[in-house]
Amino acid sequence: MVTMSDVAKAAGVSRATVSYALRGDPRITESTAKKIREVAASLHYNANLSARSLRSGRTGIIGVAIFELDRPYPSEMSAAMSREIARRGYQAIVQQTSSSKDNEIAILQKVTSQLCDGMIFSPAQVADEELRALSHGKPMVLLDDISPDPVFDSVNTACEDGAFTAVRHLINIGCKHIVAIGPSYEMLVEDRMATSVVGRRLLGCLRAFEQSDIEVGPSNFLHLPKWDPEPSRAAARAMLESARYQGVDGVFCFTDTIALSFMRGLADCGVRVPDDIAMIGFDGISDSEYSVPSLSTIRTNLDDLAHKTVDLLIRHIENEGDDGAPQRLTADYELIMRESTRRR
Amino acid sequence: MVTMSDVAKAAGVSRATVSYALRGDPRITESTAKKIREVAASLHYNANLSARSLRSGRTGIIGVAIFELDRPYPSEMSAAMSREIARRGYQAIVQQTSSSKDNEIAILQKVTSQLCDGMIFSPAQVADEELRALSHGKPMVLLDDISPDPVFDSVNTACEDGAFTAVRHLINIGCKHIVAIGPSYEMLVEDRMATSVVGRRLLGCLRAFEQSDIEVGPSNFLHLPKWDPEPSRAAARAMLESARYQGVDGVFCFTDTIALSFMRGLADCGVRVPDDIAMIGFDGISDSEYSVPSLSTIRTNLDDLAHKTVDLLIRHIENEGDDGAPQRLTADYELIMRESTRRR
DNA sequence: TTGTAAGCGTTATCAT
DNA sequence: ATGATAACGCTTACAA
């Protein structure tokens, strides 16, 4: 391994001078700096990150911790974050939490908070206050954080407005009996709404129903305990066979992944989309464009989400001194109308 | 920040004792060790990774560098790797190279080789010999490495056998005019085959054609310069409109992502799958199960791939002394028959 | 069985 | 404008 001392020796200067020169400190004359850079390059010198981090506390790395890497939405989101982080001159590392609390804690404690100048985190299990302790004082921006009095800045998807737009679109194309797939009716009844992503999407649905004077009941919601493809596919058959949901002609799935597999479930039963039942999803994953029929959806603009998130975080990293109340931003979204809601 | 000294002071021992105790060195009596662990826990002590890494060269982190995080196959693969790495008691970090050479180099130089005990890398642009220099002597296992004389261990997907199986399956169900979507006919003619993943899949196709005495020509291949959804969808229309490909009744796409969007392209033109054209893909991504029609495919067993890769790597990490010629393993695969190749 | 002390390669604070 | 020289927090011979 070639260290800073080697470079210093080869260039005939001290280690300190090398350190300054390589990081562009104006104290060093351009001529010596240039020479040092050349020597460093010719020796293939690379700064040791551990040493730098130990001494300065900075690494130039931003961590992204995400629940699942193998679902389209989180993976497209991580990719967008990685690109934006790289664009801003940092290195991105991505970690999978698997939505397990132990894992979230381990990741934060053992690597993210230690190796990263800041982190982007989508908390599933760990509460805000706990996060503060785990963050080791490092800046953090949360995604879709729902805690009532936030500790960190956060960037959210447009849950309520997006859901409102989705349901209104179904109403606009003439749907009379609309079902939201994902949430539970109990949640609505118990009024635990504002405190979660699901709840906020539910709120949006309600607003759309109300606006059109549609009375709401259990037959407007189908609860999905786990938002995975297989249960979603099964849910389609279950819905068609259940008396409660007879006459459904419009479905709003709380994620595109649910929607695509639900649509597959409808196909299993010979139900045509959109002719028999119109469908719309949420997220705007790439697959939604290529399904047959293609899926209408509320697309979260991931570039905008990444831009806002990374910008907020880097602002914290670079002006350590700021603060004030935690900010809450919302990512842009758009309604994308495709075949699954196309009516003659 | 609470350091080892704080723990030592609180427990009334020296820093060294704390260090030994916390890492389970048998020299320390169980009673003192227990006490130290308790004190450490109560102070929320966490070892500083930079310091540990600087001193010992070990971090307990394994890096996974992958071309694109937002395509189903690589993201499902990274997820499988992450799970397996965690199962083996290491922490996984994932980085996106975006298939750019600069990026691959930056990632290896600036973080992976520095912070990780070892790395799993899927080289797109950087040659094996270059990698050796960038690896800083850290162990590395490559994925689908195709270099003729390998420097590192590698684990490959079953390109040739998988492609052979796919094409044979199409032949078995009665396809007469089969097209492979992805590779170029020129590659075959120029015999640059064994040197790439594409080439090895092509080899498998050829073997299947030969076995059934099918004569092979340009009309059996449709070149796709970029394996992305949009060009694949467009390729379907182009194929149908081209004189060269009249009468095609079976299509083998070199990836599932190509297959799903190609299938969408066929739907755009009113062509039915499998009735008019049968289709099979390669990879076995989750989406392939939920498309309409569901997609037959050669599924790479990602758990097996991850198991073999991580095992090889950890073996290197933990017995620094081994070596011998680089090993080359192949991940298990299976033919999955679904609707897209179902004939009455 | 435990403590002492010398680094690991940087960065930052002084002097010069 | 540059050079000595302490840290940073941990690991690990070696000494006690």
A80: contact with B, CB 8 A cutoff: yes
How many Cα atoms are found within 13 Å in the side-chain-facing hemisphere of B125? 15
Angstroms from A291 CA to nearest CA on chain B: 7
Q: In this structure, are residues B290 and A261 in contact, taking their beta carbons and an 8 Å threshold?
A: yes
* Geometric angle at alpha carbon B161, from B159 and B166, rounded to 5°: 90
At residue B138, φ and ψ (nearest 5 deg) are -80, 145
Q: Are residues A191 and A290 in the same domain?
A: yes
Highest mean pLDDT among A8-17, B73-82, B105-114: B73-82
Residue contact B229–A286, C-beta within 8 A: yes
CA angle A256, A258, A259 (to 5 degrees): 60
Q: What is the mean pLDDT of residues A142-152?
A: 87
Question: What's the rounded Cα separation, in Å, for the pair A194 and A200?
Answer: 6
Same domain, B328 and B277: no
A274 shares a domain with A164: yes
Over range B223-231, report the average pLDDT. Answer: 95
**Whole-number Å distance, CA B54 to C1' D5?**
20
Q: Are residues A124 and A146 in the same domain?
A: yes
Based on the domain organization, do A102 and A216 belong to the same domain? no
Assess whether B119 and B167 both reside in one domain: no
Enumerate the residues of chain A whose CB falls inside 8 A of the CB of residue B111.
49, 61, 91, 93
- The set of residues, in sequence order, having a beta carbon less than 8 Å from that of A282 and lying 6+ positions away, is A162, A163, A166, A201, A252, A253, A254, A255, A256, A259, A297, A298
- The token duo for A274 is 């959109």
For the cut 90, the answer to whether the pLDDT of residue A107 exceeds it is no
How far apart are the CA of A307 and the nearest CA of chain B, in angstroms?
Answer: 17
pLDDT digits (tens, 9 = 90+) for A174-228: 999 999 999 988 877 776 667 788 889 999 999 999 999 999 999 999 999 999 9
Range(s) of the domain holding residue A249 = 159-299+334-341
Cα distance between residue A123 and residue A151, in whole Å: 13
* Of the candidates B143, B161, B131, B69, the residue with the CA atom closest to the CA atom of residue B302: B143
Q: Which pLDDT belongs to residue A277? A: 97
Q: Same structural domain for residues A281 and A307?
A: no
- Residue A106 is predicted with a pLDDT of 84
The reply to whether B28 Cβ lies less than 7 angstroms from strand C is yes
Rounded to the nearest 10 degrees, what angle do helices A30-42 and A4-11 cross at? 120
Instruction: Work out the percent of chain B whose per-residue pLDDT is above 70.
Output: 97
Is the pLDDT score of A30 beyond 90? no
pLDDT of A322 > 80? The answer is no
Measured from the CB, is A126 under 7 Å from any atom of strand C?
A: no
A25 touches strand C (CB under 7 A): no
* In a shared domain, residues A74 and A148: yes
Residues B115 and B187 in one domain: no
CATH number of residue B16's parent domain = 1.10.260.40
Which ranges constitute the DSSP H helices of chain B? 4-11, 15-22, 30-42, 49-56, 72-87, 101-106, 113-115, 128-134, 159-172, 185-190, 197-211, 229-241, 256-268, 302-318
Regarding whether B149 and B269 lie in a shared domain, the answer is no
The number of domains in chain A is 3
Asked if residue A143 and residue A117 are part of one domain, the reply reads: yes
Burial class (CB in 10 A: 0-12, 13-18, 19+), B212: exposed
CA distances from B306 to A75, B66, B88, B145, B146 (A): 18, 13, 11, 15, 18
Q: How far apart are CA A224 and CA A214, in angstroms?
A: 23
Task: Write down the pLDDT at residue B192.
Answer: 67
Residue with tokens 């009844």: A189
**Model confidence over B140-161: pLDDT tens digits?**
999 998 787 888 999 999 999 9
> Which pLDDT belongs to residue B127?
81
Q: State whether B136 and A92 contact (CB < 8 Å).
A: no
Q: Do B79 and A93 touch (CB under 8 A)?
A: no
Strand pairing category for A333-336 and A296-300: antiparallel
Beta bridge partners of B222: B181
CATH (domain of A181): 3.40.50.2300
Q: Does B315 contact strand C, using a CB cutoff of 7 Å?
A: no
Each residue's pLDDT tens digit, B207-217: 999 999 999 99
- Test the A interface: residue of B49, B112, B269 with most A CBs within 10 Å: B49
Give me the pLDDT at residue A291, please. 97
Which two tokens mark A249? 């002609």
Q: Which nucleotides of C are covered by protein (CB under 7 A)?
A: 1-5, 7-13
> Can you give the pLDDT at residue B252?
98
pLDDT the model gives residue A320: 58
Reported as a pLDDT band with limits 50, 70 and 90, residue B323 is low
Identify all chain A residues contacting B294, using CB atoms and an 8 Å cutoff: 264
Q: How far apart are CA A19 and CA A16, in angstroms?
A: 5
B42 near A CB under 8 A: no
Residue A288 contacts B where some CB pair is shorter than 8 Å? no
Instruction: Answer yes or no: do B31 and B64 share one domain.
Output: no
